[in-house]
Amino acid sequence: MSHPFCATEQVCDHYPHGWGEWRGKSMYIRTIIDAGVVHRQACGEAIHRWNEAVGARFLLIPDRGVDTIMFMEASSKEWPFTDYPTAAGLAMPTSHQARIYIRSDQPGVSYREIVNFYAHEIGHAFSLADHPKDDINSVMSYQGNGRWLLGPSKEDRDSVAVIHGLDRLEVKPSDLEGIENITGFWHWDRYQGRDWRFWFPSLARGNTIDSLVPYETYRVRAKTSGILGYGRFGLAVEPGINRWAYL
């Protein structure tokens, strides 16, 4: 992995260890887009692309989560850009919160570039440092390749996993708490239009679901009453088939 993970000691002090909800599983991060943000669509696209990459573990949403990322814009005549006049964007972490600022009055800047600026600063909230290399496929690089990305690359995704002590960001059925209480697991893939697909803990890996996908629907059959959950979601299950939406 070629990322220098933590940008500064200040970042390392607060992220990821400052995230109060992080328990090594999954969590919501509250996202607040300030009323003064002019480029709201670009900000939303950057959030969406980060959710596509890391959302199974860390989901950025507006209405849940103890820990917060706040998105703000300011002109070159306003703080913090009066103190950092050459910066296009800044990420400022405090305990349980990161404030992201994008300079709103940069001349000749395209929509794509604004998305890139937001995506880059979100990376800092996840403890990724600026990457100095031109030939690296990382949104954290201000050089050639990095400037063209609208969201995190696979390397960025893998680096976030390492920072948080994870082998991978995907959530798999074998990770579920209480999976020993489940005899059958069905998955409905609404995006691909597939029928219910089956997964049984006792069968070979050829029948496994590759990962649990946010917003998908599953059904489980439990041996006895219990809780099926994983971090930010949970379900009380009873014997028989229970329908369950992974949100």
Measured between alpha carbons, how far is 171 from 177 in angstroms, rounded to an integer? 11
Write 185-189 long-range contacts (CB < 8 A, 24+).
185/209, 185/218, 185/219, 185/220, 185/221, 186/218, 186/219, 186/220, 186/241, 187/216, 187/217, 187/218, 188/216, 188/217, 188/218, 188/219, 189/213, 189/216
- Higher-pLDDT residue of 21 and 85 is 85
For residues 189 and 151, is the Cβ–Cβ distance under 8 A? no
CA dihedral (135, 136, 142, 144) positive or negative: positive
Measured between alpha carbons, how far is 115 from 47 in angstroms, rounded to an integer? 9
Please check the confidence at residue 150 and state whether its pLDDT lies above 80: yes
For residues 219 and 235, is the Cβ–Cβ distance under 8 A? no
Measured between alpha carbons, how far is 65 from 68 in angstroms, rounded to an integer? 7
Measured between alpha carbons, how far is 59 from 214 in angstroms, rounded to an integer? 9
Please check the confidence at residue 10 and state whether its pLDDT lies above 70: no
- Higher-pLDDT residue of 131 and 89 is 89
Question: Which pLDDT score, from 0 to 100, does residue 34 have?
Answer: 97
Question: Which pLDDT score, from 0 to 100, does residue 116 have?
Answer: 96
Question: Which pLDDT score, from 0 to 100, does residue 187 have?
Answer: 76
Helix (H) or strand (E) holding 213: none
Helices (H) and strands (E) in the chain, counts: 5, 11
Measured between alpha carbons, how far is 15 from 128 in angstroms, rounded to an integer? 10
**Section 136-145 average pLDDT:** 85
Q: Choose the weakest-confidence range: 55-59, 71-75, 106-110, 187-191.
A: 187-191
Query: What is the pTM (predicted TM-score) of this model?
Result: 0.76
Average pLDDT of the chain, as a whole number: 79
Measured between alpha carbons, how far is 102 from 213 in angstroms, rounded to an integer? 31
Q: Which residue has the tokens 């696209």?
A: 45
pLDDT band at 217 (very low <50, low <70, confident <90, very high): confident
Question: Which pLDDT score, from 0 to 100, does residue 196 have?
Answer: 73
Question: Which pLDDT score, from 0 to 100, does residue 123 have?
Answer: 92
Please check the confidence at residue 9 and state whether its pLDDT lies above 50: no
Domains in the chain (CATH in brackets) are 9-163 (3.40.390.10), 173-245 (no CATH)
